Chain A
Amino acid sequence: MILYETTFIVNPQSDDAVIEEKVKAISDLILANGGKIVHEDRMGTRRLAYPINKLHQGYYATFLHESDKSVLAILDRHMKLGEEYMRHLTIRFEADPERVYGDKKEDYRIPRKIMAKKPDSQSETAEIKIAPSPSEAAAEADSASETAEIKIVPAPEETAAEADSASETAEIKIVPAPEETAAEADSQNETAEIKIVSATDEAEAEEKKAADEKPEDEEL
């Protein structure tokens, strides 16, 4: 038993009852020969892309059925002989019926979001990165507050003569410094008392490094 899709066109000029009868004849043939109808789809009367037998419209009906291959010959013969059938086509259906007829119908017209998404995600992650670092620093500020206060003081002193541009860089550098001390503080959680001392030492060392780096930044 294989899944087939049989579509056929019935002459639309005949009465509705006749059309219905012709459509039903096909489903009856399928059922009578041990087939099982999975889905029935009526496209109804629609315009043909080109005239068939001098007719410009046709009534389309489709049966998705699970049948033995012997049924196909019977259907073919029936529709060739029946004058009301204008065209018919049976194909082996190799897709998930749900995706063609069901609610999960596939749509190729989904807008392209790949290009639009990338900058958003980057900015989001960037924002996330920025956001927690001060909060973490604030949470562990008890231990790091001393170092933070000290940091602010020496930087202007060193760059006091160099005025505005230097102070801006100094202000910017206050932000990453607590992050580093906080990260190091995390690793040194167990020895709380020692932490303060070492953190300050390290912070001072980092300040010196930062101070060394400042002139380079300005040159650039």
Chain B
Amino acid sequence: MAMMRRRKICRFCENKIYYLDYKDEKMLRRFTNERGKILARRISGNCAIHQRNLTRAVKRARVMAIMAFASESYR
């Protein structure tokens, strides 16, 4: 049914991942927008635990220049 919105499932819970590596840029990019901002839980569908882990990972990645603090390509 078009009216029924499917409840988002936490991707990490689904695949039973509990540690998010901050060096995994590909993974982190999926959960940030083009500007490098972390996506909200209501958009990404992450559970609280994994959202917290993700946030930590993104912030570590920023320190290590794996992720950008703010994207330059903003118009």
Contact = CB atoms under 8 A, between A and B. Distances in A.
B65 A108 contact: no
Interface residues of B, number: 24
**Is the contact region of chain A dominated by helix, strand, or loop, or is it mixed?**
strand
A1 B27 CA distance: 30
Contacts of B18: 95
Given A89-B60, A91-B60, A99-B19, A50 B12 contact: no
B50 to A, nearest CB: 9
Contact of B68 (A7, A49, A108): A49
Interface string B14-45: 11111101110001000000001000000000
Interface residues of A, number: 23
A108 to B, nearest CB: 5
A98 B62 CA distance: 25
B67 to A, nearest CB: 5
Contacts of B66: 49
A52 B62 CA distance: 12
Contacts of A52: 65
Contacts of B23: 7, 43, 60, 62
Interface of B: 9, 11-12, 14-19, 21-23, 27, 36, 60-69
16 contacts: A7-B23, A7-B64, A43-B23, A48-B65, A49-B36, A58-B65, A60-B64, A87-B64, A91-B22, A95-B19, A106-B16, A106-B19, A108-B17, A108-B27, A110-B15, A112-B14
Interface of A: 7, 9, 43, 48-50, 52, 58, 60, 62, 87, 89, 91, 94-96, 99-100, 106-108, 110, 112
